[in-house]
Structure 1
Amino acid sequence: MCNHVGHHSVPSIYCILPPHMLKEIAKNGTPQQRSVAVDTLSTDHTFRQIRSVQAALLAPKRGGSVTPVPAVPSAHRSIYTANNTETLPGKLVRSEGAPKSNDDCVDEAYDGLGATFEFYLEIFHRNSIDDAGMPLTGTVHYGDKYDNAFWNSQQMVFGDGDGTLFNRFTIAIDVIGHELTHGVTEHTAGLAYSGQAGALNESVSDVFGSLIKQYALKQKADTADWLIGAGLLASGVKGVALRSMKEPGTAYDDPVLGKDPQPADMAHYVNTSQDNHGVHINSGIPNRAFCLAALGIGGYAWEKAGRVWYETLNDSHIKPTANFKTFARLTVSNANRLYGASSAESKAISKAWDTVGVL
């Protein structure tokens, strides 16, 4: 189910596809679709157990030697193929500066990693995921018709999808941005992956994943689609994306996938023990708050609303166990500091959190 997350410094696994969606497929799909969903859930579970054993060995030791950071930050991308096995990282097929391959997955992964690096550098002067020039690694063609993509604290991994419900997982730049932002969160706020803190962790990844797409397309807040994973759902599936930030709960309603379960406000908050107490479900509430704030402020969403959210991630007052209300208050505090307490920006952010019932 791909939801293992250890302590702040321990490698973790974050998947784009929530387990509730895979469980719906395992229940409602054709025999082949059910088989693929069960295999994906099983692979995620096995991989999670292997990661927990490896975590202590792979976790970077604090206080050790530090690789010197070049004076001018630049991307260092390496794309591998697992050739439909579950071996990571696999065979190197494209490295930084190499020409395009004849494989869409390879080139989409390369471009998505690059777009994410560029966004964080250009907008927030952040040098890669860890702000210290971390090389970006991606593996494509992971598993057999694997219906997921994930970040494991070291690299991105993409499945090919089953072709009937999901297309290849490299197809959506916001999915790549979403997953890599889990790494940014690990290196900043370190939000725990359970309950409201976990839903904030997921929401932050959706926020910056969407901003990375908007930045690449040079879209203003009012022209963006605010969808996460548009293009991932195969033709014939009744839906437009995995999630909608503007209208949580409306991304899909399909006989096999079920209905998008995201609430749009606190009145409909979902109390559940599944999926680390609903991290992929209740993230709809802070997602909508950000979208409303960005629309209220206007212009390019990354310039002001995005700046406030990024400052909040880096705020010394944020704790790994932060809940929605704490996070919301910190965004208002940071907006006040950046733009003034009576500014239109602060008012738009306060109003957005009030609209979703958090403040």
Structure 2
Amino acid sequence: MTPVRAPFEIGGQSVPAGSRRTVDIPVSVLSDHTPVTLSAHVIHGRRAGPTIFVTAGIHGDEVIGAEIVRRLLTMKALGSLRGTLIAIPIVNAFGFLNQSRYLPDRRDLNRCFPGSAKGSLAARLADLLMREVVARSDLGIDLHSAAIHRTNLPQIRVTKGDKEALRLAHVFGAPVILQSTERDGSLRAAASDLGVNVLLFEAGEALRFDELAVRAGVAGVLRVLHTLGMVGSRGVPKPRGKSMLLKSSRWLRAPQGGLLRVFRDTGDVVSKGELLAAVSDPFGEVERDVVASIDGIIVGRAVMPIVNEGDAIFHIAQTASVERAEDTLQVLRTDLEGDPIFDEDEII
């Protein structure tokens, strides 16, 4: 007879094996005496396995992650979960309520890790997340979108040279994998110092839902859980294509201020010298072209039609073969648009 697993302890509460519960961990009290909590939904399986956290809303205006977590928690595959899943749809409740990237003290939470129990509001929230969630986990998946007025192609970011993170990034199955350095103060960097890998998922734009981005996120998390032996294969989609690993990227910036007309979109494969956009003054007297400086894939772009000189317009990841990139991305686009996981009546 298999011994019963011990309850999972978090926030001073116990979640028995074979159960799921939303645990509200006190964070602070607003100036009007409204309490604020870090709300984590814990699924503690009957059988042993890894402990994985999925976080969203570290930046309060990045709402796509909250929808990914919501859909994830409706999936039937989680009913027989091995191990433990900690899902937090909104880390930065302060920013979420204000539709802002930041906390009330104007700090970026993702530059305040590992935090401090006696520091600023952002530092205290970062410290709480590290102690209660990250330190108890074997792996994390952190969900983000582009900043306000920008949008991103679904992508996973990993640290160069981290073979295990790269393996899991390919399992996730986003169209693009980008190698990027860990930023000081980020959740990914602080978790790495504890020996916990974090996959950073970027997709869509702030304050907006993007259906394909949400699908990519839900499918990717399920694939990782399946690979780690936490869920079975039923309902877990297999990508028909392989993610493209891209080792470098650069931003193209507005050559002048004015009105921006964009001719290419995220996910488009472009060639060096190709016309991507034009910036004109409001009178139509002066117009400057924006052309691709490298062969690559547009993995992010500005969505506002008004720009100042030097504003970032296109984020292009370099590729060695335009033709191969186009073929690969077409397969992955088709995969997301017709993903069988979303043909089932599992999502409310």
TM-score (norm 1): 0.34
Query: Could you say which structure has the higher helix fraction?
Result: 1
Query: Could you say which structure has the higher strand fraction?
Result: 2
TM-score (norm 2): 0.35
Which structure would you say has the larger Rg? Answer: 2
